[in-house]
Structure 1
Amino acid sequence: MYKPNFQKREVIVFRRFQRKGYSLFSCLGREVLISVLSVATLSSTKAATISDETWRVDSTQTTKEIWLGDVGITGSRAPLTQSQAVRMVTVLSREDIQAAPVRSINDLLKMSVGVDVRQRGALGSQTDISVRGGTQEQITILLNGINVCDPQTAHNVMDLPVELSEVVRIEVLEGPSGRTYGTSSLVGAINIVTHPERQSSLDVTMEGGSYGYAKAGVKANVKSERWNNQLSGSYMRSDGFSRSKTGTLNTDFSGSKGFYQGEYDNDNVHCSWHLGITDKGWGSSTFYASPKWQADDQYEHTTKLFSALQAETKRGIIHFRPAVYWNQHNDRYEGYRGQSDKMKFNYNRCNVYGLNLNSYFDWMLGRTAFGAELRNEDLVSGNLGEPLPSPQHIAGTDRDYTLGINRTNMSAHLEHNILLEGLTISAGFIATKSTQSNMDWQLYPGIDMSYRIGKHSKVFASYNSSLRLPSFTEMYYKLQGYAADPHLKPEEMNALEVGSSYSNNILQAKMSIYHHHGRNMIDWIMDTSLGQNASWQSVNHTRINSYGVETSLGISLKTLWPHQKIINSCALSYSYINQDKKNEPGIVSQYALEYLKHKFTANMQLTPIEHLSLGIYYRWQDRVGQYTDFTGQVHNYKPFGLVDARLAWKTQKYTVYTEANNLLNKKNYVDYGNVPQPGIWIIAGCKINII
């Protein structure tokens, strides 16, 4: 697993080990001097999550300056190592990302067994992502720890400005995460972590493939002693894999993105910042069609801006980690592509301003974290919200924003972590309040516990709770067969989880069992018994109970059988979910009652010859739920399996690769009602490292 170095901090000198459970707290991400310590001792006492390869200890020296690996995992407010963390955090490393046959973060997340990726458009053009049977609205998406969710709708939240090549790792935190990430993380959170390269560099990427697909990108990094700045940009397009009834494009896409990130580091503080933009348009085909409205030439265009400034102090008893951010989401939806006279285009602009502070300190009873966040969400729209006091002009059009809504969400958190010889306890709460509907302060507690059995095994248990405010679309969307309810209540979730894990240099295994109890769950439903008068309505379900099991197994065959050089590793994972909320006769659910009952993934990494790598991935899933076709017939979702593969030749100066999605060319499978999916999609490309 890729382990980037933390920012450099003041040197700590170890002269002897005392085997205290809290000792590793002091050296997270810091430079360490170990005096009079033999190589044999170093090998036997290292933490489970510290890479041997980064130590490089010279046996001729009695004192050696080394770097600890990046062992911090965001599963709690206070930083803990992965071996100490008690929450189940799935980490997709840089090696996982580089080996996977995918071109977007959306497609990469399909490989995570607890994540449900419902694809409408290909190559990440439009995708709904959820965790453990939830909906796309019930998770928090973060970019470098900053919440980038769009309170208008979660359909386009993955329009991110970063390329896969810039992602250091992706952390998937499953289960209610309000104590860690605040409101909207009802069933989980996904944190996408990027970082500038560790040295100055310049590389260019070019790709081409099926259905007129083409992409070009460039990335440059300038590194000095204390400053590090990286800039990237790319353009991507495709003709699409299907056409409308009239023969025009309806699954095409094109767009560009740019991302700048930087950091400054000295002995007192570490600062980082990012600024990004995405601009993308895509044919929405039948994405939001219904039996009553069978449009197959819809279109969407989004422009998004992302900015954040973060810092962390290094000295003093209390460590402060402040952040300030601003995200803007613009979108234009065309019910009939290019035909505003037939249906007015929907315009929305949402500004999100945030300020948060997370602090922590160590004392004799452990590590305590505390902080608060203030987040303002402001929407102006042509069809969502309440009437504005005065209209606001829509740039580039002859229309005005006439509706809007504004709400401010406030939260405060407190968490304490106790680290004993083999036992870790993390407990705390988040208190939250929103100006929406004059919501009073609500308290959501949580506690996580784990016990380490020897060097390789761990058992854990947790109880956590969270809430989610309804999106503006769920509250106000009323158009072409949709009727929203502005009086929806916030969703609430309580969850219990128990599990165990085992990890050594050959075998990594996990298993967990969980129960989610949701109240006032929000969904869009349709009563098909009403015939032509049927419409989608947003409602609060009274309750939904979910029961699930997740298992995963990874084997390093290269380590197990070092004499064979071809098969590097293989991994298997499986998840099972059952919900006790049943559809009433004639009621069709659009989100909450449609979930992956079974999901199985497998992959194998091979190196047939030097420089040549081959990755083969298989995904099988069985979804609960129904959809109504355009003739009015109701169908159950059928299970399906897909095979993807990536073949790459890599040297120090360049990489040449080819990828195939849906390698067996499976057709006529449905993952989202009335939305066609492509057959085999082949891409070839190269990356050249100029510097």
Structure 2
Amino acid sequence: MYNNNSNKKQGTVVFKRFGRKGYSLFSVLGREVLISVLSVATLQHASAGSVSMKPVSADTIATKTDREMTLNEVSVTGSRAPLTRAQAARMVTVLERADIQAAPVQSVNDLLKYAASVDVRQRGPIGAQTDISIRGGNYEQITILLNGINICDPQTGHNAFDFPVDISEIERIEVLEGPAGRVYGTSSLLGAINIVTRPHSSTSASAHIEGGSYGYLSAGARANVACGKWNNQLSGSYTRSDGYSRNKNGGLNADYSGGKAFYQGSYDDTDIYVNWHAGLSAKGYGSNTFYGAKWDDQYEHTLKTYTALQAETKRGRFHLKPSIYWNHSEDRFELFRDAPNTYPFNYHRTDIFGVNLNGYFDWILGRTAVGAELRNEDLLSGNLGEPLDNPHHISGTDRYYDHGINRTNVSFVVEHNILLHRFTLSAGLVAVKNSWNGMNMKVYPGVDASYRIGNAWKIFASYNTSLRMPSVTELYYSVGGHVADKNLKPEEVSAIEGGLKYSINGVTAQASVYHNNWKNMIDWIRYTSDGADAPWQSVNFTEVKATGFGAQLNLNFRQLLPTQSLLKSWNTSYNYLFQEKDIAADVQSKYSLEYLRHKLVSNLQLNLWSRLDLGVNFRWQDRRGTFTDFDGEVKSFTPYSIVDARLSWTAPKYKLYLEANNIFDKTYVDYGCVPQPGTWFIAGMTVEL
């Protein structure tokens, strides 16, 4: 289901226009070139709508050649400067729009379950709350981006996936595995996930509605107006569910209700490309036992807004790409739903302002990129941070934000890329200084290299480093059986990776080995020898080492067996991870020592008849670690396997579909003792106007 965009098969290329780069010719060596128009998913450094790429138009999912490729437009996210996919030294995994449309999912959270290297620890369905990590890390150790803009919340990573855009409007999802400090800056300790939205190129509109088990209902609409150099699109959606479980008193405790609205626009001429977005996500959900098995009627409400303005120059030797953004979020947690007198609600508000300037230029020794970012994080809270001299009123209540923290992060990046015929070397560093806790400027280097062997093989290797600042929750959350340490040190990691990729004639295979070495890793631990009421403490582990292996195989049957029509594609991938840390036997970890030892995912796409398609998804995973059940007993996680499916009928102006999740009604948990839903059926339709 996942496609690696950095080295696709050497197939037919359709010519659109001449590239202005001297290296454009290498993109078509050994290929057949046709005079027509195709489309391919493209990537660029931390950018969703860059000047140098056009959005994918995935009208069909028949063949990989139904893409658009311009010789100078194919660039990837694995480096600071845009490089052609043939030149890219680092592998980037891309989930394309066709894959998103074919998946039996309702949220980005669910979608990422089908990536072998991604650990999705779900507390609630429909994207209610999910902790997502990469390669054995935790949910705080990756950077989440919306159209290339960092939307991570310094309060906590629990609600990082509150996207303001409906999944039907997502163009692609880019996953960069491993430390990405010089590409995405701080917080990208073990990788990054970039959600790229889909602006339509022509005036159009669409609507969708779906419903199913547990009182589930979702509806949304989109309208786009394109006029010359201007493009404006507005979309919105609403989703609700009664939930799949009840509390001890018989009331709802996994219910969900939320809405999203998203506006994006752009201006494009021969000199400059400018794009902007503004989005809102508001939701409330029953969080049953999310934050403690003792209380089964918890509730949480979040409100988030996102705004950003980005640009890129298109003429001249030096290309500039500035951006400015503001992210705002509000969170209300209720340990006892609608009962503030029983236990006061927790209120938090964060405002994040950022501005960055990136640029690159070509010269005789290759391509050089430079960049700088200023990011200010301001948090107001009822219980997190330092006491405030001037408390702020909490809207709609008689209470005040009387705690808070403000910190500013400054980073500078320089990277140079040596581009030869078959060899690429990309090396650089990021220098970081944060105002929190008197942190001094620190430098984190990285280097990636790749070599293409013939038209089918590619070997690659990398060494990268990065860091992450502690979240405010890790620093100050000392309530409800938790004891935080406000003197935590930043996490640091160094990682090496090497691998081999093969891609030709409908077959793509890849294998890699990686090793991560954490320093000052942050985790919540408790000493089980102190009894069931032992507090959870935020601590810096001195060192944790992890070694992993990943492999994937993708078969495109439309190319391998062109005379048949039943089989479309089959993809399978596997990830193995082993972590080592010398700790006492009575230490229980929430995150660092709970990780996926094994994860296997597979996807089969079939065309049953005419426009009728069937997709079947399978995943099996085995988690290491322990959790405390409702009776206070420490238990180990149990391996489980899940099968999902989607049946769809696709016509030019409409689509009908039926989805089934957890078909065999397996009982399982991803986190603690929060049981996940059994079999869940959904039926829906989409109409294009």
Scaled by the length of structure 2, the TM-score of the pair is: 0.92
Distance 2:651 2:370 in 1: 47
- Structure 1 position 448 matched with structure 2 position 448: yes
Q: Cα offset for 1:69?
A: 8.8
Q: How does 1:278-677 map to 2 (within 5 A)?
A: 278-290=281-293, 294-667=294-667, 669-677=668-676
Relative to structure 2, which stretch is displaced further, 66-75 or 109-118? 66-75
Q: Distance in 1 between matches of 2:76 and 2:560?
A: 27
Judge conservation of contact 2:555–2:570 (CA < 8 Å) in 1: yes
> Residues 566 and 538 (structure 1 numbering): CA distance in 2 closer, same or farther, change over 3 Å?
same
Cα–Cα, structure 1 residues 92 and 48, in superposed 2: closer, same or farther, change >3 Å? Answer: closer
Q: Distance in 2 between matches of 1:340 and 1:163?
A: 32
Contact 2:172 2:196 in 1 (8 A): yes
Deviation at 1:232, TM superposition (A): 0.3
Q: CA deviation at 1:421?
A: 1.1
CA offset at residue 311 of structure 1? 0.1
Distance 2:622 2:386 in 1: 41
Q: Which residue of 1 aligns with 2:116?
A: 113
- Which residue matches 1:688? 687
**Aligned mates of 1:554, 1:166 — CA distance in 2:** 26
Match of 1:242 among 236, 240, 245: 245
Contact 1:25 1:80 in 2 (8 A): no
Offset at residue 300 of structure 1 (A): 0.3
Give me the whole-angstrom Cα distance separating, in 1, the residues matched to 2:31 and 2:635. Answer: 64
**1:415-474, CA deviations, whole angstroms, 9 ceiling, x for partnerless residues?**
001110110000000000000111000000000000000112100000000000000000
1:87 aligns with 2:90: yes
Match in the other structure for 2:235: 232
Structure 2 partner of 1:61: none
In 2, Cα distance between the equivalents of 1:464 and 1:648? 43
Matches within 5 A, 1:59-208: 67-68=70-71, 71-208=74-211
C-alpha separation in 2, matches of 1:633 and 1:219: 50
**Structure 1: distance between partners of 2:511 and 2:450:** 14
Query: How many angstroms does 1:630 deviate by?
Result: 2.2
Cα separation, partners in 2 of 1:132 and 1:23, compared to 1, 3 Å = same
Task: Confirm or deny: 8 A CA contact 1:463 1:496 kept in the other structure.
Answer: yes
Letter of the aligned partner of 1:643 in structure 2?
A: V
Asked whether the equivalents of residues 474 and 538 of structure 1 are also in contact (C-alpha less than 8 Å), the reply is: yes
Could you say if the C-alpha distance between residues 508 and 532 of structure 1 is closer, same or farther in structure 2, counting changes exceeding 3 Å?
closer
Match of 2:140, SS state, is helix
Q: Name which of structure 1's ranges 611-620 and 524-533 shifts more when overlaid on structure 2.
A: 524-533
**Secondary structure, counterpart of 1:670 in structure 2:** coil
Say which SS state the counterpart of residue 397 (structure 1) adopts.
Answer: coil
CA–CA distance in structure 2, aligned partners of residues 195 and 629 of structure 1: 43
Unaligned runs of 5+ residues in structure 2 are 6-15, 43-63
Cα displacement string for residues 115-145 of structure 1 (whole angstroms, at most 9, x for unaligned residues): 1000000121110000000000000000111
The structural deviation recorded for 1:389 is 1.2
Q: Summarize the alignment of residues 2-41 of structure 1 with structure 2, pairs less than 5 Å apart.
A: 12=18, 23-24=23-24
Paired with 2:126 and 2:92, the residues of 1 have a C-alpha distance of: 25
Which residue type is aligned with residue 237 of structure 2? S
Residues 240-293 of structure 1 deviation map (CA, whole Å, 9 limit, x = unaligned) = 000000111100000001000111001100000000000000000000105xxx
Following superposition, the deviation at residue 85 of structure 1 comes to 1.6
> In the alignment, is the contact (CA less than 8 A) between 2:627 and 2:634 conserved in 1?
yes
Report SS of the residue matched to 1:98.
helix
SS in 1 for 2:571: strand
2:54 is matched with: none
Amino acid at match of 1:80: L
Taking the aligned partners of 1:158 and 1:580, their CA distance within structure 2 comes to: 29
Work out the CA distance in 2 between the residues paired with 1:278 and 1:72.
31
Tell me if structure 2 keeps the 8 A contact 1:308–1:325: yes
Contact 2:391 2:402 in 1 (8 A): yes
Partner of 2:265: 262
Match in the other structure for 2:223: 220
Aligned pair in 2 of structure 1 residues 508, 682: CA closer, same or farther (>3 Å)? same
State the shift of 1:53 in Å: 4.0
Cα distance change, pair 582–609 in 1 and its aligned pair in 2 (3 A)? farther
Inter-partner Cα distance in structure 2 for 1:124 and 1:258: 16
Q: Secondary structure at the match of 1:108?
A: helix
Q: Is the Cα–Cα contact under 8 Å of residues 49 and 82 in structure 1 kept in the other structure?
A: no
User: Partners of 2:30 and 2:524 in 1: how far apart?
Assistant: 64
User: What letter matches 1:550 in structure 2?
Assistant: G
Distance 1:462 1:618 in 2: 31
Q: How much does 1:39 deviate?
A: 10
Q: Provide closer, same or farther for how the CA distance between residues 25 and 560 of structure 1 changes in structure 2, counting only shifts above 3 A.
A: closer
Q: Secondary structure at the match of 1:474?
A: helix
Query: Which letter does structure 2 place at the counterpart of 1:511?
Result: A
Contact 1:605–1:616 (CA under 8 A) maintained in structure 2: yes
**RMSD (CA atoms):** 2.2
Query: Is the partner of 1:95 in helix, strand or coil?
Result: helix
Q: Distance in 1 between matches of 2:670 and 2:371?
A: 41
In structure 2, how many angstroms separate the alpha carbons of the residues matched to 1:516 and 1:561?
41
Q: For residues 220 and 474 of structure 1, do their structure 2 counterparts lie closer, same or farther at Cα, with a shift above 3 Å needed? A: same
Quick one: distance in 1 between partners of 2:31 and 2:552?
33
Q: How many residues align?
A: 654
Report the CA distance between 1:82 and its aligned residue.
Answer: 2.4
Distance 1:13 1:535, change over 3 A: closer
SS in 1 for 2:665: coil
Alignment match, 1:7: none
Amino acid at match of 1:453: I
* Per-residue deviation, 1:581: 1.3
Q: Deviations over 1:153-178 (max 9, x none)?
A: 00000000111221111110000000
Separation (CA, whole Å) in 1 of partners of 2:189 and 2:631: 36
- Name the CA distance, whole Å, in 1 between partners of 2:421 and 2:86: 13
The C-alpha deviation readout for 1:282-335, integer Å capped at 9, x for no partner, is: 000000105xxx001000000000000000000111000000000011100001
In the TM superposition, what whole-angstrom CA distance separates every residue of 1:561-580 from its partner, at most 9, and x where no partner exists?
11211010101100000001
Q: CA deviation at 1:71?
A: 2.5
How far apart are 1:2 and its partner, in Å?
Answer: 12
**What is the rounded CA distance, in whole Å, between the counterparts of 2:409 and 2:506 in structure 1?**
46
CA contact (8 A) 2:41 2:96 kept: no
Distance change in 2, residues 1:40/1:678 (3 Å): closer
Deviates most, 547-556 or 624-633: 624-633
CA distance in 1, matches of 2:409, 2:396: 32
Match of 1:6 in 2: none
Give 1:48 shift: 11
Q: Contact 1:54 / 1:69 at 8 angstroms: preserved in 2?
A: no
Identity of aligned residues (%): 55
**CA separation in 2, counterparts of 1:26 and 1:384?**
54
Tell me the secondary structure at the aligned position of residue 165 of structure 1: helix
Relative to structure 1, is the Cα distance of residues 533 and 602 closer, same or farther in structure 2, using a 3 angstrom cutoff? closer
CA distance 1:464–1:13, shift in 2 (3 Å): closer
How far residue 38 of structure 1 moved from its aligned partner, in angstroms, is 14
Deviations 1:658-691 (A, max 9, x none): 1111011112x1211110111001100000112x
